[in-house]
């Protein structure tokens, strides 16, 4: 199975950075120790960075389990995906399936399948943490074998874990580099796409993250952070360099609202 092509995300993710990679990577350091990414999401940045030593984490346990299964045995995940029919009835049945009792490959395949067949590829859960996006009726391939193999190889040296973003970077040392891509702060006063876990990311969490970034800076850990271009965000990171980033949000139903400007905030 050829794996020479650069790996790309295996799932679509709200706020994914695939289209912004050239703008982001241009500001990343060229040399660092361990790479940390605590809001992993679709993993487009981590895959593009391709760091030999990486700690990749997310609060979404099912997402991390999916990456672990792909890393450890992508062929097993592919075999399950090959057996899943793309119909509304099958979608609803798989969406209602309890994850407990399923093997790792099946859990991962269900995650990828639901992401590829649900409405606009939006991962959203209810207050109980249950996936609740409706069927999208898309006729598209669930995965590319070569890319799945490439992602598996790219994650081979990474530590993948579920948990709080602050805990995941606790071991970061001077010379390491962290990229933060948290749920964005919106002008209306709440986080964008704040239901990809059962919890939410509100002002208190934004303030805690900013304080963590200041602590990392004081410890000699370099970092970059993406967020919305708002007065609130600029105030939180006052004193650090901010670079405007032109972005497009394809998941937004209103086409006129898809062109937005973000900030990339840098520790140095």
pLDDT value of residue 129: 76
Extract the tokens encoding 174.
Answer: 């001077």
Please say whether the beta carbons of 152 and 70 come within 8 A: yes
Domain coordinates in residue numbering, the chain: 18-60+154-266, 68-152
Order across the sheet with 54-58: list the strands. Answer: 158-162, 54-58, 35-37, 177-180, 222-228, 259-266, 241-248
Residue 144: what pLDDT?
96
State pLDDT tens for residues 13-24. 988 899 999 999
Looking at the predicted structure, is the pLDDT value of residue 210 above 80?
Answer: yes
pLDDT in tens, 163-179: 999 999 999 999 999 99
Looking at the chain, the whole-number percentage of residues with pLDDT higher than 90 is 76
Q: What superfamily does domain 18-60+154-266 belong to in CATH?
A: Vaccinia Virus protein VP39 (3.40.50.150)
Residue 108 pLDDT greater than 60, yes or no: yes
Dihedral Cα 93, 102, 196, 132, nearest 10 deg = 10
pLDDT score at 214: 98
CATH 3.30.70.1350 fits 68-152, yes or no: no
Mean pLDDT (the chain, rounded)? 90
Residue 4: per-residue pLDDT: 54
Q: Per-residue pLDDT averaged across 222-249, rounded?
A: 93
In this prediction, residue 204 carries a pLDDT of 92
DSSP per position, 123-180:
--B-TTS-B-PPB------S--HHHHHHHHHHTTTEEEEES-HHHHTTT--TT-EEEE
Closest CA to 119 of 259, 260, 253: 253
Locus of tokens 């970077």: 169
Better-scored residue on pLDDT, 147 or 246: 147
CB < 8 Å & 24+ apart, contacts of 82-91: 84/109, 84/110, 84/113, 84/142, 86/117, 86/138, 86/139, 88/135, 88/137, 91/117, 91/118, 91/135
Query: For 117-130, what is each residue's pLDDT tens digit?
Result: 999 888 888 777 78
What separation in angstroms does the CA of 232 have from each of 71, 237, 238?
38, 9, 10
| Least confident among 157-161, 221-225, 245-249, 255-259 | 255-259
What is the length of the chain?
268
**Rounded Cα gap, residues 17 and 67, in angstroms:** 18
Instruction: Using the predicted structure, report yes or no on whether residue 1 has a pLDDT greater than 90.
Output: no
Average pLDDT of 211-229?
97
Q: What is the mean pLDDT of residues 216-233?
A: 96
Single pTM value for the model: 0.91
């Amino acid at each position: 199975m050829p794996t020479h092509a650069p790996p790309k995300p295996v799932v679509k993710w709200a706020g994914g950075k695939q289209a912004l990679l050239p703008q982001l990577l241009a500001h990343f350091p060229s040399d660092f120790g361990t790479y940390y990414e605590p809001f992993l999401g679709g993993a487009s940045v981590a895959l593009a960075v391709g760091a030999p030593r990486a700690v990749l984490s997310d609060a979404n346990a099912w997402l991390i389990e999916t990456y672990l299964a792909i890393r450890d045995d992508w062929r097993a995940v592919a075999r399950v995906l090959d057996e899943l029919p793309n119909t509304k009835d099958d979608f609803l049945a798989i969406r209602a399936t309890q994850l407990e009792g399923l093997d790792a490959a099946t859990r991962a395949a269900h995650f990828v399948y639901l992401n590829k067949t649900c409405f606009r590829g939006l991962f959203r859960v209810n207050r109980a943490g249950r996936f609740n996006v409706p069927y999208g009726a898309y006729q598209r391939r669930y995965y590319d074998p070569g890319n799945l193999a490439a992602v598996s190889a790219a994650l081979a040296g990474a530590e993948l874990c579920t948990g709080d973003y602050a805990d995941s970077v606790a071991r970061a040392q001077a010379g390491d580099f962290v990229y933060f891509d948290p749920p964005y702060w919106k002008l209306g006063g709440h986080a964008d796409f704040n239901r990809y876990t059962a919890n939410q990311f509100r002002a208190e969490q934004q303030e805690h993250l900013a304080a963590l970034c200041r602590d990392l800076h004081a410890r000699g850990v370099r970092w970059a952070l993406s967020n919305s271009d708002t007065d609130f965000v600029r105030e939180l990171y006052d004193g650090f360099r901010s670079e405007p980033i032109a972005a497009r949000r394809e998941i937004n139903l209103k086409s006129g609202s898809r062109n937005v400007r973000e900030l990339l905030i840098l520790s140095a």
